[in-house]
Structure 1
Amino acid sequence: MSTTANKIANRAGAVKKATGGFLLLVVLAVAVLIFVRPTTVSTGPDQVALHYSDGAFTPRRFKDCVSSSTRAWDGPGDKHYSYPKSQRNYVFGEGGDRPMVTFVSKDGIEMSVDGVAAFLLNTDCKTLQKFHDLIGNRYAAYMDSTDGNGSAGWLQMLSVYISRPLETAIDRASQNYTYTELYTDPGVKAQWEQEVLAQMPELVGRQIDGDEEFFTDFAITLQKPVPPEQVKAALVAQQEAVARAKAKEAEAAAQVKAAQAQIEVEKAEAAKIAERIKVLGQEGYLKQYAIDHGLNPYQPTTGGLITDSTP
């Protein structure tokens, strides 16, 4: 009995050992797959990507840039960060990336404006790497999909590096104009828009450490700025009063002009009469006037009647 029991025990031990070894091999195989599986990146036509080594046994280090419309395979654990290559729009206003921008005009009226700030991210490889290391990685501003949309981190980054300089540029340019000029004069509005655009590169650059231009090719489109409703209502009432006054002035001017024209007509007629009197004499003119108007200037008189002279 003891010999049989020993055999069974030995056989069970061998099976257990073999099973444990198999499980160990499975675990090792899974671990190998995890650590040696290559990473891949696929950029869209308006994207570029940065490639960083980041494997289990390698330090995190920049490797190279991946151009647009490219699929690449890299080492296990490596990371890829995609950024937009095409023009980006930062929309402020209803339904945009942020609310309308408010500012104060030269005469102290608070106004609001919506619009679009367009720009390009500098995707030169070395510049983009520095942007990622200093800013993009901090905000997780890299794109999270291949559909061209930015991430939440991208918008958060823009709220610092685009939105704040934009507010400053609009506020500074607005100090040169009254609210009525900005609200009613298209020429002033266009000039104001150009002044905002001219300030953007410098103000954005102040937000960045170093001399790199991470954002380039700015374009600004501002809609018609609007004052508060009560101010706008007062301005409309003022404009209506001015319009009524101008209409009255125009009517009075027209009446004066008509009177002057009538006077000139009467002067011409008087001159014409004077000339006819010179030719016909006063009595002759009066007779001719009567005839022209259907009257008979030759009325009978008692001196021309035949009377009875019989005593």
Structure 2
Amino acid sequence: MNARKTADAQAGAKGRGRLVLRALLLAVIAIVVLGFVASGCTKVSTAPDEVRLHYAGGPFEAIKFTKCITPSSGATFLGPGDTSYAYPFGQRTFDFSGSEDAESKPISIVSKDNVELNVAGSATFTLNTNCAVLRQFHERIGLKYGAYFEGESTSDGWRRMLNFYFKQPLDRAMDAASQEFEWKKLFNDPNAKQQWEQRVGQLARQFIKETAGADYFCQPSYGGTGDCGDVVLTIQKPEPPQSLIDALAAEQAAKQQNLAQQQINTKVQTEIESIKQLVKVLGPQGAILWKAIQDGRVQVVPVPQNGAINITPQQR
């Protein structure tokens, strides 16, 4: 009986010990969490269309790059003074259509015959999120323009960066290509427009890369490995001033009128040749009579065998 009591007492002591140990463990965890909060530690996570750069350091130590936080990553703790910068992962567009949400107005170009035209369109691309390349982009360009994301949307710095690294190269490329074509061909000739688009594409990709200094802007489907590829351009037909469009429409209308008049003249000439042939065969009076009969102004009446003819004047 005494042995049983002793065993029960020992089991109770062990149970109380486990409870105390659990309480101590929870207290330690709480202290650690409170320590993180008190020391200024934060945590970040990434969305499926977002990548982050993590930099460690603070007011009293050098800021150093730590790592890239890939898309759809769970909570990552940042130490005191650490910072992270978010950039878009996946397809993005530089829109120069002039619409309300566009990054830019249409781009102005000058044709071979010195006519100013406006071109709307877009450049579709993917920011190169290869970790080493993205870090280089951030330190060379992103910090300068403040191009990293703020919250869930792009920043004004992102727009300013695109206007410099896309609009200016596109402007140069379009102007250079446009010097090879007259405005009417750019506006009205599908073959000329296709040639112009191909030339703009070649020059734009070259100038964008030269301006950026590296392959920071890749093809829309780029996934971070392999060949970066080229930005995809979508360009609308160049639009000249409305006054030239109206003048071109009037010119086309005049051409159609001239063509119609030529057809009328051809018909009249044919009729004259026909009359000449009638005169040659029937003589002048015979030709006049024939024409009157054809026009219904003279009615031919058959003569009966008895020679009696009744003529009724034609009512007019």
TM-score w.r.t. length of structure 2? 0.67
Q: Tell me, what secondary structure is at the counterpart of 1:83? A: strand
TM-superposed CA distance for 1:246, in Å, is 2.4
Q: Secondary structure at the match of 1:205?
A: helix
1:181 offset after TM fit, Å?
0.8
1:309 aligned partner: none
1:161 touches 1:204 (CA, 8 Å); kept in 2? yes
Q: Which amino acid aligns with 2:47?
A: G
Structure 1 gaps of 5+ residues are 1-30, 267-292, 301-311
- Look up the SS of the partner of 1:54 in the other structure: strand
1:201 corresponding residue in structure 2: 205
Q: Which runs of 5+ in 2 are unaligned?
A: 1-33, 220-230, 279-299, 308-316
> What residue in structure 2 maps to residue 39 of structure 1?
42
1:256 is displaced (CA, Å) by: 7.4
Question: Counterpart in 2 of 1:19?
Answer: none
Contact 1:92 1:116 (8 Å CA) reproduced: yes
Find out whether 1:127 has 2:129 as its counterpart: no
User: Does 48-57 or 164-173 show the bigger shift?
Assistant: 48-57
Shift of 1:208: 2.9
Count of matched residue pairs: 237
Pairing 1:158-307 to 2, within 5 Å after superposition: 158-209=162-213, 212-217=214-219, 218-253=231-266, 255=267, 295=302
| TM-aligned CA deviation for residue 207 of structure 1 | 1.4
Equivalent-residue separation in structure 2 for 1:70 and 1:251 (angstroms) = 78
Query: What's 1:104 paired with?
Result: 110
Task: Tell whether the 8 Å contact from 1:81 to 1:142 is kept in structure 2 after alignment.
Answer: yes
Change (3 A) 1:258 1:76: farther
Q: Which of 143, 147, 153 in structure 2 is aligned with 1:141? A: 147
Question: Percent identity of the aligned residues?
Answer: 36
- 2:68 aligned residue (55, 65, 70): 65
Q: Secondary structure of 1:60's match?
A: strand
1:49 aligns with 2:49: no
CA distance in 1, matches of 2:155, 2:236: 27
RMSD over aligned CA atoms reads 2.9
Distance apart, 1:40 and its partner CA: 1.9
Offset, 1:45: 1.3
One-letter identity of the residue aligned with 1:160: F
Deviation sequence 1:231-261 (CA, Å, 0-9, x none): 22222221221222223334445x379769x
- Deviations 1:129-166 (Å, cap 9, x if unpaired)? 000010001111011123xx321000111111111001
Report the Cα distance in structure 2 between the residues aligned to 1:206 and 1:259, rounded to whole angstroms: 70
Q: What letter is aligned with 1:242?
A: K
Q: Is structure 2 residue 62 aligned with structure 1 residue 77?
A: no
**Equivalent in 142, 148, 159 of residue 155 of structure 1:** 159
C-alpha distance after superposition, 1:25-83 (max 9, x if no partner): xxxxxx96666232222222111111111335542111111111112223222111111
- TM-score, normalisation: structure 1: 0.68
Deviation at 1:93, TM superposition (A): 3.0
Spell out, residue by residue over 1:168-199, the C-alpha distance to the aligned partner (whole angstroms, 9 max, x if none): 01101111111111111233223222221111
* Aligned mates of 2:135, 2:241 — CA distance in 1: 45
Structure 2 CA distance for aligned equivalents of residues 257 and 122 of structure 1: 72
Change (3 A) 1:249 1:46: farther
